[in-house]
Structure 1
């Protein structure tokens, strides 16, 4: 049975492990090991998640099976230049591949939309240009492309699409 709750400071280690596993499952083959390791150490370490869990600018919601994360969504400030800096941004929506199709992404996105409505009139996100599964998911929800973004993984530059949803 999948349960959902807001993340707590003591979730940093498990959140980091799940995020890294999901990122590697989805994108790992795209990167040289040195770039992937640098990115994971910087952006997805237990310390990085501990800082975010302690920062009121971030909100993280977990999907759990037997107390272990199988998915999560993270909302924070908008970091895309040229767009409303006060608008919330979906920073991550990750689900382990074994749970794709279980409704976890939809349920987490319901939380994202409900939470974002209390924070602004628009919600932004970026998605890797070749992540067709995610792009179809966001398209169905009404997100529209409004720009482009370079997402760095180590020294590797990915081309992302910036999307916006009017809430």
Structure 2
């Protein structure tokens, strides 16, 4: 069976990235929110927003494809968590795979890319936030040396989730 591939995203991938972003978030967390809160959150994933970020040199995005169909992505970008990160930090903004590809070995490949890319850009630390009850993801990040540094309220529409901010020194 063929295996999905990772490659750098381009502006031409914006619509695919927007679609897989909506699909993966809904698949992973959609049952936790009202339809209105989920719809409000998903409105942030437009092709135009993705094209702007992919074109911005402050971001680095890899798309995961099976053939020419997006099945996941990983995005690094300037920190936007609600605290002042130390000089030289970057944020792992999003890391998603559709469920059929979870546990397939792609996660470690994606994480290794993110760590190598952050180092290549000269960053000394990488931050992320993860849903408090997403124990699988928290274990995965801990396996790569990420440590909890504090709580964070992540908004999905009008609903506040409690997330955990994690950090790894590079």
Per the TM superposition, whether the score is higher than 0.5 is yes
Structure 2 CA distance for aligned equivalents of residues 15 and 124 of structure 1: 22
SS at match of 1:157: strand
For residues 141-161 of structure 1, give each alpha carbon's deviation from its aligned partner in whole angstroms, at most 9, with x where no partner exists.
110001111111111111110
Question: Does 2:127 align with 1:124?
Answer: yes
Match of 2:166 in 1: 163
1:133 aligns with one of 122, 133, 136:
136
Structure 1 CA distance for aligned equivalents of residues 19 and 87 of structure 2: 30
> How many residues are matched?
166
Q: 1:86 offset after TM fit, Å? A: 3.7
Indicate conservation of the 8 Å contact 1:74/1:93, yes or no: yes
Structure 2 CA distance for aligned equivalents of residues 164 and 91 of structure 1: 12
Alignment of structure 1 residues 43-122 onto 2, 5 Å? 44-80=45-81, 81-84=83-86, 86-119=88-121, 120-122=123-125
Q: 1:85 offset after TM fit, Å? A: 5.2
For residues 110-143 of structure 1, give each alpha carbon's deviation from its aligned partner in whole angstroms, at most 9, with x where no partner exists.
1000001123111100000001110010011110
Indicate conservation of the 8 Å contact 2:63/2:73, yes or no: yes
Structure 2 CA distance for aligned equivalents of residues 54 and 142 of structure 1: 30
TM-score by length of 2: 0.94
Indicate conservation of the 8 Å contact 2:74/2:94, yes or no: yes
Match of 1:31 in 2: 33
Gaps of 5+ in 1: none
Q: 1:82 offset after TM fit, Å? A: 3.5
RMSD value over aligned CA atoms? Answer: 1.1
Gaps of 5+ in 2: none
Runs of 4+ in 1 over 3 A off after TM superposition: none
